Structures are given as C-alpha cells and as structure tokens.
Amino acid sequence: MIFAACIHLLICYLSPVKQAGPFKIPEMRKISADIIFPADAAPLENGVIVCDEEGKILRIGPASDFDPAAIEKYEGTIVPGFINAHCHLELSFMKGAIPEKTGLISFVKHVIAIRDRFSKEEEMAAIEAAETEMIANGIVAVGDISNDQRSFAQKSRGRLRYHTFVELFDLGPEMTGEALKKGKKVMEAARLIPSSSASLTPHAPYSCTPRLIRETDRLTLKGKGILSIHMQEQEDENRLFTEKKGAWIQFLHDMGCSDTWIEAGAKSSLQYLLPLLSPGNKKLFVHNTFCSAEDIDFAMENGGEVYWVFCPNANLYIEDRLPDYPLFLRKGAKGCIGSDSLASNQRLCIWSEIKQIKTHYPEIPLETLLTWASINGAEALGMDAELGSIRPGKKPGLVLIEGLGSLQDSIRDTQIKRLV
Ligand SMILES: [Zn+2]
C-alpha cells in the first residue's frame, strides 16, 4: 500500500501538468475616477478600486498606493450598479402604445385592452431589448412584477439578477379563488428561474379583496418574505376607502365586479391596507404619489421593514404629478427608485429617474438619490450581500457617471457608462 502511494506521488511529480510552469495569476483591474461613491461609506476622491475579472471588489485604496501606469483612470464619478426596484419587463412591448397624462384609470383600461394584442415574437423581442437597455444603463438587478410567465425565458438567461414579484389581483370576491390558483402556478415557474428569487404579492389596495391580500401575505411569509404593492398612485384610491366613492367604484362597476368588499371609514388607502399584512413581511410600497405625512408615520410605526419605491417618469407619464419627496426625507423614510414599465416610460434607466427628481427637487442631495438607487434597492430586494455598494467581497457592478467631477455639480449633461 505504501509502495503504491509512493509510485503515485512519483508519477504526479513527473507528470506534464506539474511541469507546465507557474500557475496563472487572475487578471485584476485597477479603476479610478475623480470621485468614487461606495454608497455605504464616505465618497472618496481619486481612489482606486481593485477588482478581479468577474467584477468582485478586492480592495479600495488611495491612488498613492498604486503604480499610476497600471490604473484605468476615468473622468467622472464611479457608483455601484443601479438597482431597479420596480419594473414590469413583461409589458415592454407596450412602449409608446398608451397615451400620456390621461390618468391611472384610463391607463389601466388601455393595458387591459392591448395586453394580448401583440404576437409572441413581438413580445419576446421587446422583452429582450428592454433587458439589454437596462444592462447598458448600468442596472444590475431588478424587482420585477410578473402577472404571467412571458418574461421568464429571458430572465432565465441570467444576464441580470431578478426578484420576481408574482402579482395577484381579483377585483371582487367571486374571482379570489381563481386568482390564487393562477398565482400559485406562476409562482412555481418563477421559482425555477436560475440565480433569482420570487414571492407572491397583491397588486394594489383597489384591485385586491381583503381575503386575497391576507392569503397572499400568508403565503409570502413562508417564503422570501417580500411584498411589492402599488400604493396611492392616484387621488381617488384614498376616496375608495375613506368614503367608498370616486372613480375606482365606477371602474369596478365598468369591469362588472361587485363592490361589496369595500367599506368606507378608513383614514386612507395605506391605513386600510397595512393592518391586513404581517409585520414580518418586508414591504415595498410603489409610487406613493398621494401619501400623507400621517400615512408615512403609520407605516413606519406599524409596517415592519418598509421601503418607498419612487418611479417619477411613470408618475409624470400617467398622472402628471410627483410624490412629495422632501416629506419622505424629513420622516427618515427609506427610498428606492424604479423605472416602472415601458408602458409608462420612454426608457428603463435609473439615472434618468434621478435626473427627473433633481429637475423638480434640486435641493435633494445627489448622495441621497444615489443611495436610493443602490444600497437601499439592494436591501429591499434582499440582494445587499452581493450588490448595492462598492465594498470588498461584493460584486456590485461599476458605473461611471461621465461629466460629474463633484457630487455637487449639475447632473443635467452627464451620461452613464458601464465599466464592470
Ligand atoms: Zn408598476
């Protein structure tokens, strides 16, 4: 036995593999710019990021530690890859198909009317192009809504990280059972998308009965534990639950649905919804255009972990109105940024959403908006172990904001370039 082991060692020692020379040192990149914005640490002037060929961050240090000849130097600011906290990839084929600024109810009716009007090939081509656009725009992960499986083949290619929110709605108690059955089936398929996560979620307070909301919340609590709910995107959503009046009652009647499940007397849509949900589920409230100070306080006191996802370009496209962002900041609320879908946006680009907010609210610091677009989004989607900040050990993707030599500069004429 000992003799055999000695022979084996001798063969290994003499083998060509052993004599092939020194092992290959992995390629490393040393990347620098005027400013590095790590997102979870103070911005760094003239710092250097060392990463391997896979984009994993190995080290961040001052330029004086490195040979200048070995550094890739860029003009501008380097930020972590963007997190798109709210998208509907499956609606990409609707780009330009729905008129702007006609209000949410008209928008929803248009979506329903044209949802099945395009060929399978047109839908798939639009979904692929939309994903390619997101990658070019520095997006590395997406909180993506799915009502069915039409985006799953593209997501399975693994070019972006996804958390798929399998979205349910019933519009009345007569459809609750069917909505749950369909949602569970889509969820089974969503679980099979490689390198991604998924959870069931109710669509919005006005489109889901209390039974559907409770049941979806209960099922999600067993799994990943993240809900993404469209919230207070339109003024009459609050009237539906405070007075049982307004345009949404008419919408339900137009759709042939009963309104027996709606009761007047709540303080707002948000304050009606939140008690139906478990504090244990993380909550992404999306849009929040008509959210009051009292609503924010109520959610932060009673909602557990709550993130407020803002989609300014879609808000202007549909309702032509923006949320009161400074109010959320004064309350210490955690913001995220989403693009919503190409049905209500010209592009899927988080940097253009930041530009839109800055145009209307120049007083909001750029650092705040970059934090919303990176680490907050990663935390909201449960991806912060790998994404959302430039920190050794993570693989966040690196994005250059060309033309931004200081975080105090105007961002109007800046552009995005993906570095890693
Ligand atoms: Zn949406």
Q: Residue 280 maps to which CATH number?
A: 3.20.20.140
Instruction: Kindly state whether residue 327 falls inside one of the protein's structural domains.
Output: yes
Instruction: Kindly state whether residue 12 falls inside one of the protein's structural domains.
Output: no
Instruction: Kindly state whether residue 275 falls inside one of the protein's structural domains.
Output: yes
Instruction: Kindly state whether residue 359 falls inside one of the protein's structural domains.
Output: yes
Query: Distance from the CA of 138 to the center of ligand 1, in angstroms?
Result: 20
What is the tens place of the pLDDT at every residue in 320-341?
A: 999 999 999 999 999 999 999 9
Residues 186 and 320 occupy one common structural domain = yes
Query: Distance from the CA of 64 to the center of ligand 1, in angstroms?
Result: 46
Q: Is the pLDDT of residue 2 over 80?
A: no
Confidence band for 4, pLDDT divided at 50, 70 and 90? very low
Residues 48 and 113 occupy one common structural domain = no
Residues 319 and 309 occupy one common structural domain = yes
Give the residue-averaged pLDDT of 179-188. 98
Residues 157 and 204 occupy one common structural domain = yes
Bigger pLDDT: 223 or 108? 108
| Cα separation, 242 vs 252, whole angstroms | 16
Reduced to 3 states, what is the DSSP secondary structure of residue 50?
strand
In terms of C-beta distances under 8 Å and separation of at least 24 residues, what long-range contacts does 144-149 make, across chains too?
144/87, 144/88, 144/89, 145/86, 145/87, 145/88, 145/90, 145/201, 145/228, 146/88, 146/89, 146/90, 146/186, 146/190, 147/90, 147/186, 148/90, 148/186, 149/186, 149/189, 149/190
Residues 218 and 307 occupy one common structural domain = yes
Give the residue-averaged pLDDT of 269-284. 97
What pLDDT is attached to residue 121?
96
- Cβ atoms of 249 and 240 closer than 8 Å: yes
Query: Distance from the CA of 293 to the center of ligand 1, in angstroms?
Result: 23
Query: Distance from the CA of 86 to the center of ligand 1, in angstroms?
Result: 6
What pairs with residue 51 in β-bridges?
Answer: 29, 57
Query: Distance from the CA of 16 to the center of ligand 1, in angstroms?
Result: 59
Give the residue-averaged pLDDT of 69-96. 97
| Cα separation, 329 vs 325, whole angstroms | 6
Residues 54 and 153 occupy one common structural domain = no
Query: Distance from the CA of 60 to the center of ligand 1, in angstroms?
Result: 37
Q: Is the pLDDT of residue 94 over 90?
A: yes
Query: Distance from the CA of 176 to the center of ligand 1, in angstroms?
Result: 21
What pLDDT is attached to residue 397?
98
Query: Distance from the CA of 110 to the center of ligand 1, in angstroms?
Result: 14
Q: Is the pLDDT of residue 375 over 50?
A: yes
Q: Is the pLDDT of residue 354 over 70?
A: yes
Query: Distance from the CA of 116 to the center of ligand 1, in angstroms?
Result: 18
- Cβ atoms of 407 and 367 closer than 8 Å: yes
Query: Distance from the CA of 144 to the center of ligand 1, in angstroms?
Result: 9
Confidence band for 14, pLDDT divided at 50, 70 and 90? very low
Query: Distance from the CA of 142 to the center of ligand 1, in angstroms?
Result: 12
Residues spanned by the domain of 107: 82-387
Query: Distance from the CA of 183 to the center of ligand 1, in angstroms?
Result: 17
Residues 225 and 368 occupy one common structural domain = yes
Give the residue-averaged pLDDT of 159-178. 97
What pLDDT is attached to residue 116?
86
What pLDDT is attached to residue 372?
98
What pLDDT is attached to residue 275?
97
Confidence band for 23, pLDDT divided at 50, 70 and 90? low
Query: Distance from the CA of 229 to the center of ligand 1, in angstroms?
Result: 8
Residues 62 and 159 occupy one common structural domain = no
Query: Distance from the CA of 111 to the center of ligand 1, in angstroms?
Result: 12
Residues 54 and 87 occupy one common structural domain = no
What is the tens place of the pLDDT at every residue in 47-71?
A: 999 999 999 999 999 999 999 999 9
Residues 297 and 157 occupy one common structural domain = yes
pLDDT, the chain, mean: 93
Give the residue-averaged pLDDT of 168-196. 97
Instruction: Kindly state whether residue 11 falls inside one of the protein's structural domains.
Output: no
Confidence band for 359, pLDDT divided at 50, 70 and 90? very high
Number of domains in the chain: 2
Instruction: Kindly state whether residue 16 falls inside one of the protein's structural domains.
Output: no
Query: Distance from the CA of 91 to the center of ligand 1, in angstroms?
Result: 10
Query: Distance from the CA of 249 to the center of ligand 1, in angstroms?
Result: 21
What pLDDT is attached to residue 27?
77
What pLDDT is attached to residue 24?
59
Q: Is the pLDDT of residue 16 over 50?
A: no
Query: Distance from the CA of 145 to the center of ligand 1, in angstroms?
Result: 7
What is the crossing angle of helices 210-222 and 176-190, to 10°? 20
Give the residue-averaged pLDDT of 3-8. 43
Q: Is the pLDDT of residue 15 over 60?
A: no
Residues 135 and 202 occupy one common structural domain = yes
Query: Distance from the CA of 344 to the center of ligand 1, in angstroms?
Result: 9
Residues 333 and 418 occupy one common structural domain = no
Name the percent of the chain lying above pLDDT 70. Answer: 94
Confidence band for 223, pLDDT divided at 50, 70 and 90? confident
Query: Distance from the CA of 326 to the center of ligand 1, in angstroms?
Result: 22
Query: Distance from the CA of 349 to the center of ligand 1, in angstroms?
Result: 15
Instruction: Kindly state whether residue 8 falls inside one of the protein's structural domains.
Output: no
Confidence band for 11, pLDDT divided at 50, 70 and 90? very low
Task: Give the domain CATH number at 409.
Answer: 2.30.40.10
Instruction: Kindly state whether residue 10 falls inside one of the protein's structural domains.
Output: no
Query: Distance from the CA of 403 to the center of ligand 1, in angstroms?
Result: 31
